[in-house]
Chain A
Amino acid sequence: MAKEFELNEVEVWDGNYAASQALRQAQIDVVAAYPITPSTPIVEGYGAYVANGYVDGEFVMVESEHAAMSGCVGAAAAGGRVATATSSQGFALMTEVLYQASGMRLPIVLTVVNRALASPLNVRGDHSDMYLGRDSGWIQIDAFNAQEAYDLPLCAFRIGEHLDVRLPVMVHQDGFTTSHKAQNVYPLKDDVAYKFVGDYVPVDEMLDFTRPVTHGAQTEEDWHYEHKAKQHKAIMDSKTVIDEVFEDFKKLTGREYKRVETYMMEDAEVALVLLGSSVETAVLAAKQLREEEGIKVGVVAPRCFRPFPYDLVREALDVPTLKAVCCLDKSSPGGAMGALFNEVSAAAYTTSSRPMITNYIYGLGGRDFAMDEAKRIMKEQKAHADAGHITTNIQQFSGLRGPKLGFYETRRS
């Protein structure tokens, strides 16, 4: 029996330590992991819990992230609760197996500490790895600070393991900005956290020798399409389970999560849509700008990146006063508009407010997202709103040195 870990009512934890504590409290059967900056402390912490008797499960050291996720797939198919952590290049190396995990409907939890993808080599935070996972069939939930990096993995087990879902779940946090920044965190007691997560209920586990099953079978044109459609339906429908789990978590802790977080949108004339730790900075900038200049700014932040919450984004943007929206993508789109711009535009297309929408690429490789810059972007949206048309290129780059970059103009007024 695992020892109880003594916790204070308030701890000062960084996002990595917070995530590792949540994994410990979920009493995972197998963690197969390979360390990579900036997520290393999650599995390092977990290894220490195993070594010191705080966890009953197995910690499997492997030779690569591809092997780490493969180990997770094997252990999950065998019938265990499974989790691991990674970042960046490690995430990229896992990618092949990520699709196996979701296709095999294995509810693995992957804590991803978001980091830029090389080249150039960079250890700092952006959303390149998170975006790389967006078609992988995993549920993707985004933590904006250390408290959320603790809370959301607990929710992730409940969501992924739910019998109506049975899908793997990623919980993202921003490299360094969240993973290495200690803040006040209010953890649950071990028994309370475990009770919330619940006992693992295996489905078609390989270790049930009385009922042999096949995992990871081959299907060609006869069945592949039906499998993928069913898998897509499962992730689209998971929104009701996500809402239920967030509701239960609120009842337990008082901390409320929604698939889309909205801030000051009721009367907003302009809005920013963004992900990750920058949400917190943007909300603070919006509050200050309302006080300083009376500009009615709101912020919309998809908590759930997959399934993409078209319903709630649409609802958030269907505000009669709303005229201009800027979507900020912290990943280089490589020859397109940012993914968030594309998704949000699709969701906003059917709103009656039909706001003007622009796109900023920002924060690549950990470039600081400054309060002043957030306010400048908000004021630029106000200029679009006042002019009645988009006064800049549709896609721009924020915080970039050198010549200004911009792409595409609009004729729409």
Chain B
Amino acid sequence: MVEIRWHSRAGQGAVTGAKGLGTVVATTGKQVQAYALYGSAKRGAAMNAYNRIDDEPITNQETKMYPDYVFVIDPALAFSDDITKNDKPDTQYIITTHLSKEDLIAQIPALQDKADRVHVVDCMQISLDTIGRAMPNTPILGAFMKISKMYDLDFFLENMKKVLSKFPQKIIDANMEAITRAYNEVK
């Protein structure tokens, strides 16, 4: 079982991202869950989304999880959210930030003993450059592919194209570029 917790703001596409990841994973015969805790949250409010991935049908319907991966897709949430909540000794962190890894960790006490498990990538800048607006949900998945080695990049891109197929070609291409850049730039 692989468990992922997303830290996001409502409107940044964490639910879409979590469902997109789930859809890609399901095409490979695995079982998935993608869900979020938001309810009456308004745009901009901090929220969590979640993924579970396993070879067997997933029956755990508890919302809380002990994540293997934590995605922080809004830079400020790394400072204001309890991003290390319920973590494990091997939990990996993928954090959107314009800071260097060292500068980021220096400012977040909770991460200071986890430096080897923290990965940074500027999904905000990447999505601004490629998609044209701050939409960090798809690039973070590129970074995740690099860190987790779950699928190789080409396979993931091919399947994400299908997930995004309802969008115009221009948007699909921009997302592919964003995913690829995040894959290459995550540190």
Interface residues of A (CB under 8 A from B): 10-12, 14, 37-38, 123-124, 145, 174, 176-178, 180-184, 277-278, 280-281, 283-284, 366, 368-371
Contact = CB atoms under 8 A, between A and B. Distances in A.
Interface in B11-65: 18-19, 22-23, 26-27, 31-37, 39-40, 57-64
A197 B95 CA distance: 49
Given A123-B39, A176-B39, A183 B32 contact: yes
Given A123-B39, A176-B39, A370-B64, A182 B22 contact: yes
Given A12-B19, A124-B39, A182-B19, A371 B62 contact: yes
A145 B61 contact: yes
B36 A180 contact: yes
A37 B40 contact: yes
Given A12-B23, A12-B32, A182-B19, A284 B39 contact: no
Contacts of A38: 39
A182 B62 contact: no
Contacts of B37: 176
Contact of A182 (B35, B40, B60): B35
Contacts of A124: 39
Contact of B61 (A123, A182, A278, A366): A278
A14 B18 CA distance: 12
B34 A181 contact: yes
Nearest to A181: B35
B66 to A, nearest CB: 10
Q: Is the interface of A mostly helix, strand, loop or mixed?
A: loop
A369 B60 CA distance: 10
B62 A370 contact: yes
Contacts of B35: 14, 176-177, 180-182
B61 A184 contact: no
Nearest to A38: B39
Contacts of B62: 281, 368-371
Interface of B: 18-19, 22-23, 26-27, 31-37, 39-40, 57-64
Contact of A123 (B23, B27, B40): B40
Contacts of A280: 59-61
15 contacts: A12-B22, A37-B40, A145-B61, A176-B37, A180-B35, A181-B61, A182-B18, A182-B34, A183-B34, A280-B59, A280-B60, A283-B59, A284-B59, A369-B62, A371-B60
Contacts of B22: 12, 182
A177 B40 contact: no
A281 B31 CA distance: 16
Contacts of A370: 62, 64
Contacts of B40: 37, 123
A350 to B, nearest CB: 32
B60 A12 contact: no
Contacts of A184: 26, 31-32, 57
A174 B60 CA distance: 14
Contacts of A284: 59-60
A10 B28 CA distance: 10
Contacts of B33: 181-183
Contacts of B63: 177, 368
Contacts of A277: 61
Contact of A281 (B32, B39, B57, B59): B59
A184 to B, nearest CB: 5
Given A124-B39, A182-B22, A284-B59, A12 B34 contact: yes
B64 to A, nearest CB: 6
Nearest to A179: B35
B62 to A, nearest CB: 5
Contacts of A183: 31-34, 58
A367 B64 CA distance: 11
Contact of B32 (A37, A174, A182, A278): A182
**Which 10 A-B residue pairs are closest in the complex by CB-CB distance?**
A181-B35, A280-B59, A182-B34, A277-B61, A12-B23, A368-B63, A12-B22, A281-B61, A12-B26, A123-B39
